[in-house]
Structure 1
Amino acid sequence: MSSAKDVTDASFEADVLKSEKPIMVDFWAEWCGPCRAVSPILDKIAEENADKLSIVKLNVDDNPFTAEKYGITSIPAMYVFKNGEVVKRVIGAKPKPALEADLAEFLA
């Protein structure tokens, strides 16, 4: 399974909205095949860029409040937050080069 930290409805504000650096939330679910496919790619990106970007996971089935608040209707959905605001949305599973391109401004 993923090495990314799990966040919940209860911990979202402290873990994500108050993060000092950009943080990407991977909205996922256990039954979602594409979510499972993208998880190791996100782990690798997080490992390679730990000083620039944090990556956490939020299970939409277990944490419906936060998923609903951010309008998550399709997963995997990866939202980058900076200073408590959504600054980037990436929807759908993508290969590592495509995800890195989407996240280039945070990985530079």
Structure 2
Amino acid sequence: MATFNEIIKKHPLVLVDFSATWCGPCQMLAPILQDLKTHFGEEISIVKIDVDKNNALASSYRVQGVPTMILFKAGEQVWRQSGVLPLQDLVATVTSFR
């Protein structure tokens, strides 16, 4: 299995969703992220990270609340947001970093 660093460097745009199974807003965000993937197709890779199972990774990115989304472009963090955003806001954000 590829490491996290390999994944964020392999794809031009990677949106990482730090979430938890017990988190209500995380569950609300899931279908929005599916729609985002449908909108952009192969232009973006979306990776879901369970903070309870990957605590060290979440800590290394200073994730203090869920959901927290981090957008990577060519392996570099370019955007970060905590909480749920509507689809149109996420589309605008991703479009600005294409």
The two structures share one fold, judged by TM-score above 0.5: yes
- Note if 1:14 corresponds to 2:6: yes
- Cα 1:29–1:11 shift into 2, 3 Å: same
State the partner residue of 1:3. Answer: none
Runs of 4+ in 1 over 3 A off after TM superposition: none
State the partner residue of 1:105. Answer: 96
Shift of 1:11: 2.4
CA contact (8 A) 2:11 2:44 kept: no
Q: Distance in 2 between matches of 1:101 and 1:81?
A: 15
What TM-score do you get using the length of structure 2 for normalisation? 0.88
Aligned pair count reads 98
Of the candidates 24, 36, 46, which is equivalent to residue 33 of structure 1?
Answer: 24
- Note if 1:93 corresponds to 2:45: no
Q: Distance in 2 between matches of 1:20 and 1:59?
A: 20
State the partner residue of 1:76. Answer: 67
Shift of 1:54: 1.2
Moved more, 36-45 or 18-27: 18-27
CA contact (8 A) 1:52 1:106 kept: no
The letter of the residue matching 2:35 is: K
State the partner residue of 1:66. Answer: 57
Query: Structure 1 or 2: larger helix share?
Result: 2
Moved more, 86-95 or 25-34: 86-95
Structure 1 gap ranges (5+):
1-6
The letter of the residue matching 2:66 is: I
What TM-score do you get using the length of structure 1 for normalisation? 0.81
